[in-house]
Structure 1
Amino acid sequence: MRSYDYLIVGGGMVAANAVKGIRERDEQGTIGILTEEPNGPVTRPALSKLLWTDPDFTYDKIWMTPEEDDGTTLHTDSRVTAIDRDKGQVTTQDGQHWGYGKLLLATGCAPIRLELPESERVRYYRNVSDFDAIKKIAGEGRHIVVVGGSYIGTEMAAALVQNDCRVTLVHTEEVLGSAMFEPALASRFHQRFVDNGVMLLGGRKVTGGREENGSVTVELDDGSTIEADAAVLGLGVEPAVDFVAEAGIEVDDGIVVNERLTTSDANIFAAGDVARYPDPLLGSNRAEHVDNANRMGAAVGRIMAGSDEQYAHTPFFYSMIFDMKWRAVGTLDSTMAVIEDAPNGPERAIYYYLEGERVKGVLLYNVEAEKLDDARAVLADDAPQSAETLIGRIEVV
């Protein structure tokens, strides 16, 4: 059995940042990373954004290399299947045992799948192998069907149509983005896709499909089908907690941790997409966003190595689609009351999402990132809010 002072399960952005955090406090401790993927961490957002849309952002820029730290060893193709808390060790699918002093669970999330087997032409889009597969097919006017109207689906539809693909986007809303944006903004969002050549097929769900003779057939809930050269599916994700729950660690739509990112076992920590933590502004929260992976990953590394800090950051999330860029904190739900502040026109605006008289989410639409702390201050304000108190509160230049 090989042992490490710090053992990290999961090889994503959290793992890379945790190594940096550990090294801020402990220069000598040994660190091991076990990841079931064939490669180490990458900057995951680039897989649906910059690698497709920015010619200056090249493939070599996605890689994160925590193994370049002299005391850190990366073990790829190593899927953890069990934790033995009494012995302080984990087991991988090949039967090997790995000991730990402190254990970090950064298992992330797994894509939701349909009865449509994954292949080189069918990708439940999440990792670098998915990018590699679709990149080989994209271009020359090939038809790619994208399934899902949330972050991955909309970003990939926009990316592919800008890379000489014919794109059909299947989503459940009548107006794309209407679950998150107020009606006027959702309408503009929807129209951007239409104007850029994406075929939008709303109000539909994919029920299954098949692949044969070099093409993919996607089956819809109304009985119709779509034939394409490839399918990209972004149906959401589920936290990867199976072997964690079996070890008796508390889970609840993620691995439950306290403000020090510690699980119900004092020697086991969790961070990133999979961690449900007490956000000081949002309450119990699980954040599947890069800002959280960066900040929480570094914090949990320092905490594991002896820091007395608590994780008190409220992360932002963002998307970049065509000429639209937005950042947000909190909850974006169009069924809430939404107040728009657009003093210079609708293409640069702030949207406040209210539950009663309390702001629960702030959307910065084409507004600079420097205003995010102002948005957090609005979320922290427990005084009654209305259009009168919110319009002009955050300056829109």
Structure 2
Amino acid sequence: MTDFRYLVVGGGMVADSAARGIREIDQDGSIGIISEDVDRPYARPALSKKLWTDPGFSWDDKVDLHTEETGATFLLGTVVTSIDRAAKTVTTSAGETYGYERLLLATGGKPRSLPGLSPSSRVLDYRSAADYRRLRELADSGAYVAVVGGSYIGTEIAAGIVQNGARVTLVTPDEVLGGHMFPAGLARSFHQRFVDHGVDLRSGRRVEQGTETGDGVSLTLDDGSVIEADAVVAGLGIEPQTQLAADAGLTVRDGIVVSSTLLTDDDSVFAAGDVAEYPDRILGTRRVEHVDNATQQGRQAGRNLADADETYDHTPMFYSNVFDTGYEAVGRVSTELHTLEDWQDPDTTGVVYYLDDDDTVRGVLLWNVSGKTDEARKVLADANALTREMLPGRITP
């Protein structure tokens, strides 16, 4: 059995940031990273963003996080099946056992699948670098790709590959693309960008059944129409991988429940990233699936693994880039809330505030406005003291 002072289960951006956080405090303690992925930690957002839009964005310089600089030992392509908290060990599907003094669960999430379809070379859930490499092959060959899902991954992938030679159909349940997040006028403008770039939009539709054939994929939509494509990318979100923690007797709700220091019920076990349900100092208990949270929370978890005992007090932002448009946001961005729009240039540059029934701000969307996320956080922190009339002009481009 191999023992590590610090053991991380999960090999994404949380693992990289945690290893670096550990090294800020402990230069010598052994670090093990067990990952189901076959690649070392890499910058996952690049898979749907810069790798499609910037020819100079190289894997080695920009995407590989070079976590080996921390001296961590990597156990790639390896699945952890159980944790023995009393013995302080984890066991893999191959029957190997690894000991730890401190354990970090960074197991992330499992992509939701399309009905009737399993991942293959033509059915991509788009969670890994291997998925990117395969989709790049398809796009470079001018393949016809169906993208299912109108949120972050779906819209970014559709925009990226249509600009790289693929023929693209995007299926979204929104009647207008982005309608679940953006005010009506902004959603219409967002939708039109995709149409103008040649994306075939099937809006207000869901996939009822999929079938993989010898040379492609057939998708039947809920209106009875059929899409015959060379491949399909599913961008339907993830389910947090909490079963390992639950089986070990740790408290699980929407995610693995942790304290403000990212500690679970067990004082030797921490959790961070997509899988962690934590107390945000501004927004309350939440679980966040975005890169800013992965990197910041991962670093804090690493420091706390090495006995820093510090509160995670960062409220994360999220962002997206499609075609000539970029947006950043903090908090809850959903048209289930009321919206107040403050445009410098309508539907092009401005701020959208999302308010609950009491007119309290719960989210801030920055549309083509960069460098203002701290100001958005302050609006959320001061929300109880702000009236609707005080919001216009509060954040300026």
Range class of TM-score, shorter chain: over 0.9
- Inter-partner Cα distance in structure 2 for 1:59 and 1:27: 27
Question: 2:211 aligns to what?
Answer: 210
Q: Decide whether aligned partners of structure 1 residues 58 and 142 sit closer, same or farther in structure 2, where only a CA change above 3 A counts.
A: same
How many Å apart are 1:386 and its aligned residue?
Answer: 3.7
- Inter-partner Cα distance in structure 2 for 1:125 and 1:380: 35
Pairwise mapping of residues 217-256 of structure 1 onto structure 2 (< 5 A)?
A: 217-256=218-257
Question: 2:369 aligns to what?
Answer: 367
Question: 2:169 aligns to what?
Answer: 168
Aligned: 1:358 with 2:355: no
- Inter-partner Cα distance in structure 2 for 1:349 and 1:320: 15
- Inter-partner Cα distance in structure 1 for 2:145 and 2:379: 41
- Inter-partner Cα distance in structure 2 for 1:128 and 1:113: 18
Question: 2:295 aligns to what?
Answer: 294
- Inter-partner Cα distance in structure 1 for 2:142 and 2:39: 31
- Which ranges of structure 2 fall in alignment gaps of 5 or more residues? none
Question: 1:3 aligns to what?
Answer: 3
Question: 1:96 aligns to what?
Answer: 96
One-letter code aligned to 2:370: E
Cα pair 1:316 1:327 within 8 Å, conserved? yes
How many Å apart are 1:194 and its aligned residue?
Answer: 0.5
Where 1:170 maps in the other structure, the secondary structure is: strand
One-letter code aligned to 1:375: A
TM-score (norm 1): 0.97
How many Å apart are 1:296 and its aligned residue?
Answer: 0.6
Question: 2:120 aligns to what?
Answer: 119
Question: 1:182 aligns to what?
Answer: 183
Where 1:218 maps in the other structure, the secondary structure is: strand
How many Å apart are 1:382 and its aligned residue?
Answer: 3.8
- Which ranges of structure 1 fall in alignment gaps of 5 or more residues? none
One-letter code aligned to 2:368: N
Where 1:197 maps in the other structure, the secondary structure is: coil
Q: Deviations over 1:50-89 (max 9, x none)?
A: 001111112322112222333x201101100000001000
Pairwise mapping of residues 324-363 of structure 1 onto structure 2 (< 5 A)?
A: 324-355=325-356, 356-363=358-365
Question: 2:133 aligns to what?
Answer: 132
- Inter-partner Cα distance in structure 1 for 2:9 and 2:298: 13
Where 2:344 maps in the other structure, the secondary structure is: coil
Cα pair 1:2 1:97 within 8 Å, conserved? yes
Q: Deviations over 1:15-37 (max 9, x none)?
A: 00101100011011110000011
One-letter code aligned to 1:79: V
Question: 2:40 aligns to what?
Answer: 40
Where 1:259 maps in the other structure, the secondary structure is: coil
Question: 1:312 aligns to what?
Answer: 313
Q: Decide whether aligned partners of structure 1 residues 67 and 84 sit closer, same or farther in structure 2, where only a CA change above 3 A counts.
A: same
Question: 1:21 aligns to what?
Answer: 21
Where 1:210 maps in the other structure, the secondary structure is: strand
- Inter-partner Cα distance in structure 2 for 1:126 and 1:338: 32
Where 2:369 maps in the other structure, the secondary structure is: coil
Question: 1:78 aligns to what?
Answer: 78
One-letter code aligned to 1:161: V
How many Å apart are 1:306 and its aligned residue?
Answer: 1.3
One-letter code aligned to 1:286: R
How many Å apart are 1:208 and its aligned residue?
Answer: 2.4
- Inter-partner Cα distance in structure 1 for 2:162 and 2:383: 44
How many Å apart are 1:142 and its aligned residue?
Answer: 2.2
Question: 1:152 aligns to what?
Answer: 153
Cα pair 1:357 1:384 within 8 Å, conserved? no
How many Å apart are 1:395 and its aligned residue?
Answer: 1.9
One-letter code aligned to 1:323: D
Where 2:82 maps in the other structure, the secondary structure is: strand
TM-score (norm 2): 0.97
One-letter code aligned to 1:363: L
- Inter-partner Cα distance in structure 1 for 2:143 and 2:84: 49
Aligned: 1:64 with 2:83: no
Question: 1:258 aligns to what?
Answer: 259
Where 1:131 maps in the other structure, the secondary structure is: helix
Aligned: 1:31 with 2:28: no
How many Å apart are 1:244 and its aligned residue?
Answer: 1.2
Identity of aligned residues (%): 51
Cα pair 2:20 2:70 within 8 Å, conserved? no
Q: Decide whether aligned partners of structure 1 residues 344 and 169 sit closer, same or farther in structure 2, where only a CA change above 3 A counts.
A: closer
Cα pair 2:185 2:347 within 8 Å, conserved? no
How many Å apart are 1:342 and its aligned residue?
Answer: 1.3
How many Å apart are 1:344 and its aligned residue?
Answer: 4.1
How many Å apart are 1:100 and its aligned residue?
Answer: 0.4
- Inter-partner Cα distance in structure 2 for 1:66 and 1:382: 39
Where 1:103 maps in the other structure, the secondary structure is: strand
Cα pair 2:23 2:70 within 8 Å, conserved? no
Q: Deviations over 1:276-315 (max 9, x none)?
A: 1000111011111111111111111111101131001000
Where 1:155 maps in the other structure, the secondary structure is: helix
Cα pair 1:103 1:267 within 8 Å, conserved? yes
Q: Deviations over 1:323-352 (max 9, x none)?
A: 110000000011211111113443110011
- Inter-partner Cα distance in structure 2 for 1:49 and 1:343: 26
What do you get for the CA RMSD once the two structures are aligned?
1.2
Q: Decide whether aligned partners of structure 1 residues 133 and 141 sit closer, same or farther in structure 2, where only a CA change above 3 A counts.
A: closer
